[in-house]
Amino acid sequence: MTEPTGRAYPGRRMNSPRAAALAGVLFALLFAAALVLMRTSLPDRLSPGSRWLDAAAATRLSIGLSLVPFAGIAFLWFMGVVRDRFKETEDQLFSSVFIGSGLLFLAMVFVSAAIAGGIVATIPLLTGQESRTGVATFGRAVMLQVSNIYALRMAGVLLISLGTMWLRTGVMPRWLAFVTYAVAILLLFVTTLSLWVTLVFPAWVFGVSILILIQNFRPRVEA
């Protein structure tokens, strides 16, 4: 006997796990911890010299940099969870901006972390004080430009596109969309005044993830 050809084998639709929003919580915790460790290792103002990179600061900076890759992995899962909420109501235009800005944000965070890691690895190999000063000053300036100017602007664009999709589709509360717009304005215009304003982004991710977790498990509790 021959097997019939052209027979359809329908597959079961794969549903995302209800606890997938925990990835956003993990990102918020790891990214916030990395930011605190790196910010406390760097001086508040850009100034010449490498004396700020002592043994204690280098240790804190290294620990913070080791957390960044895992925070990035969790952020990718968080983006998938947020996009999964739209289902068939997803808008292709704003979704493309959301995905593109999210990936650019993550790539720039990785580049900034790699520059900081290069500073930590290079400084002990330099014997001349002038060379140490030049490498430390230039590396820190580039790192802050990439992270504080470009990466956070991409995060702001991500929030604007996401807040607009939430208002159009109604998959999340309207008040959350307006809060998202406010956080986007902070990331676009206020982060140049204080480096600590960056912490508002992981705080926003943490709040959104908790809200998605509550919404995911609410039907099961009511049942």
CA distances from 143 to 115, 176, 198 (A): 6, 32, 14
Give dist(CA 132, CA 58) in Å, integer.
14
Note the pLDDT of residue 9. 43
Note the pLDDT of residue 85. 82
**221 — pLDDT class (breaks 50, 70, 90):** very low
Helix (H, G, I), strand (E, B) or coil at 165: helix
**44 — pLDDT class (breaks 50, 70, 90):** low
| Spatial CA neighbour of 198 closest among 159, 140, 143, 147 | 147
Q: Give the model confidence (pLDDT) of 139-169 as tens digits.
A: 788 888 888 889 989 999 999 999 999 998 8
Residue type, 91: D
Q: Give the model confidence (pLDDT) of 1-31 as tens digits.
A: 445 554 444 555 555 666 778 899 999 999 9
The per-residue pLDDT of the chain, averaged, comes to: 81
Helix (H, G, I), strand (E, B) or coil at 18: helix
Please compute the mean of the pLDDT values over residues 49-70 and round it to a whole number. Answer: 78
Note the pLDDT of residue 78. 93
Note the pLDDT of residue 130. 75
Please compute the mean of the pLDDT values over residues 184-206 and round it to a whole number. Answer: 84
Give dist(CA 28, CA 221) in Å, integer.
26
Listed by start position, the domains of the chain span 20-43+50-213
Q: For the chain, give the longest Cα–Cα distance.
A: 83
Note the pLDDT of residue 1. 46
CB atoms within 10 A of CB 203: 12
